[in-house]
Amino acid sequence: MTETTLNAAAGLPEIDERSLGMRIKTQVKHIRYVLTSNPVTLLAFTLFVMIVILGIFGPWIAPYDPLATNASIALQPPSWSHWFGTDQLGRDVLSRVIVATRLDLLISVCAVAISFVAGSVVGSIAGYYGGWFDKISGRFIDTIMAFPLFVLAMGIVAALGNTVENIVYATAIINLPFYARVARAEVNIRRNAGFVQAAKLSGNSDARVLACHIFPNALPPMMVQISLNMGWAILNAAGLSFIGLGVRPPTPEWGIMVAEGANFIVSGEWWMAIFPGAALMLAVFTFNLLGDGLRDIVDPRQRT
């Protein structure tokens, strides 16, 4: 009780130490429950941690320099010294796959972050206030959605210029509608909920109602969307570089490595395309599995 009074006296928010500690404890307990009750989520979580570690420490973990060429060992199949074999220039495929993690993650994280922030702001405002902003933003989103999204991304990169930043922007733009729509729908169904009216009666301004009362409740579906979109963003970025947009050789990147390896697959040198492709698949798979698991963790109604 003394702690609480102290906090209150200092003008701190009413979340006192005791309740915060208790809430963290229940949160941890809940996360542990979700992870242990669903082995698939645990697996996804483990993979996720591994991918992040590779993304951060990749250049130090990789056994060889990903750019060092050596014509004498070109096109060697997987062996003990080169687990994933070597490519047509004698570069170590394993090292290239590991180092590529960072670039692929960076592109998709940046793209998803941009579209999450922009999409939730636009969607929340449209869903809460409605009116002309809703109409205009809705039209805008509809127009983006009127394109097959990958094709639009191609068009944007082609027009803006063939660079990595533009891959990020293009991926962000084609992801934007998903966040905007989820945010709009989730905010809209809560707009007239009892607790929102009660918050207004308690003297919360509209902006505060939206930011502190409605949006946190709309977050769980948004989180699931993020996780699912991460996989999709990685796929898109890799797809764009597969057709020769964005990342240029010799930079190691999964999509471009698959594209380079594609020429050799009909003659049986499969390792150059299959390993980076498998890495790509595993990363996307991890995020997709995580999406399902995350829903259980974030949703407070699942907690008891």
Partner 1 sequence: MAAPTSRLSTIARRLGQALPALFGVIVVTFLLTRALPGDPAAYFAGPAADAKSIAQIRESLGLDRPLPEQFLLYLKDLARGEMGNSISTGQPVAEELIRRLPASLELTFFALLLSLAIAVPMGVLAATHPGKPIDHICRFIVTAGVSLPTFFTGLALVFVFYYLLGWAPSPLGRLDFAYVSPPTVTGFYVIDALLIGDLETAWAALAQLTLPAITLALFTLAPLARMTRASMLQVLSSEFIRTARAAGLSGATVLGTYAFRNAVLPVITTLGMVFSFTLGANVLVEKVFAWPGIGSYAVEALVVSDYAAVQGFVLSMAVLFVALNLVIDILYTLIDPRIQLDD
Partner 2 sequence: MSPDATNFGKTIMEPDKKTSKNLVEVDNLTVEFTTRNGIVQAVSDVSFHIAKGETLGIVGESGSGKSVTSYALMRILEANGMIASGDMVYGGIDLKNASNSTMREIRGREISMIFQNPRAALNPIRKVGKQLEDVMRQHGFATRQNAKAKAIELLKMVRINNPEDRYHSYPHELSGGMCQRIVIAVAIACQPRLLIADEPTTGLDVTTQKAVLDLVGELTKAQGMSTILITHDLGLASAYCDRLIVMEKGRVVESAGAADMFARPAHPYTQKLIRATPRLGADIRDLLPEDAEPRTPSEPKAPAVHPEGQPLLQVTDLVKDFPLKAPVKKLRDMFKTAKAPDDEPTVFRAVDTLNMTIDYGESVGLVGESGCGKSTTSSMVMRLLDPTSGSIVFDGVDIGAMPAKDFATSEYRSKLQMVFQDPTDSLNPRFTARQSIADPLFRLGGPEVRRDADRRVARLADMVGLPKSLLERFPHQLSGGQKARVGIARAIALDPKLLILDEPTAALDVSVQAVVLNLLLDLKDELDMSYLFVSHDLNVVRLLCEKVVVMRGGRIEETGETEALMSNPQTEYTRMLLSAIPHPPEMAA
Smaller CB separation from partner 2, 152 or 298: 298
Among partner 2, partner 1, none, the one that 2 touches (CB under a kind-dependent 5 to 8 A) is none
Write each residue from 13 to 42 as x if it is in contact with partner 2 (CB under 8 A), else as -, in one continuous string: -xxx-xx--xx-------------------
In the complex, the smallest distance separating the C-beta of residue 40 from partner 2, rounded to whole angstroms, is 17
Smaller CB separation from partner 1, 176 or 258: 258
Q: How many alpha carbons lie under 13 Å from residue 190 in its C-beta half-sphere?
A: 23
Would you state the structure tokens that stand for residue 216, as one six-digit string?
């946190």
Among partner 1, partner 2, none, the one that 138 touches (CB under a kind-dependent 5 to 8 A) is partner 2
> Which position among 11, 39, 161, 268 is part of the footprint of partner 2 (CB under 8 A)?
11
> Which position among 39, 139, 161, 266 is part of the footprint of partner 2 (CB under 8 A)?
139
What CA–CA distance (Å, rounded) separates 146 from 209? 33
Smaller CB separation from partner 1, 156 or 196: 156
In the complex, the smallest distance separating the C-beta of residue 42 from partner 2, rounded to whole angstroms, is 17
**Residue 86 pairs with which residues in a beta bridge?**
92
Smaller CB separation from partner 1, 66 or 293: 293
Among partner 1, partner 2, none, the one that 146 touches (CB under a kind-dependent 5 to 8 A) is partner 1
Would you state the structure tokens that stand for residue 160, as one six-digit string?
């803006």
> Which position among 222, 289, 294, 297 is part of the footprint of partner 1 (CB under 8 A)?
289
Question: Under the rule (CB under 8 A), what is the footprint of partner 1?
Answer: 139, 142-156, 158-161, 231, 235, 238-239, 242-245, 255, 258-259, 261-262, 265-268, 270, 273-274, 277-278, 280-282, 284-285, 288-289
Question: Under the rule (CB under 8 A), what is the footprint of partner 2?
Answer: 4-5, 8-9, 11, 14-16, 18-19, 22-23, 130, 134-135, 138-139, 142, 181, 184-185, 188-189, 193-195, 197-206, 208, 213, 216-217, 300-301, 303-304
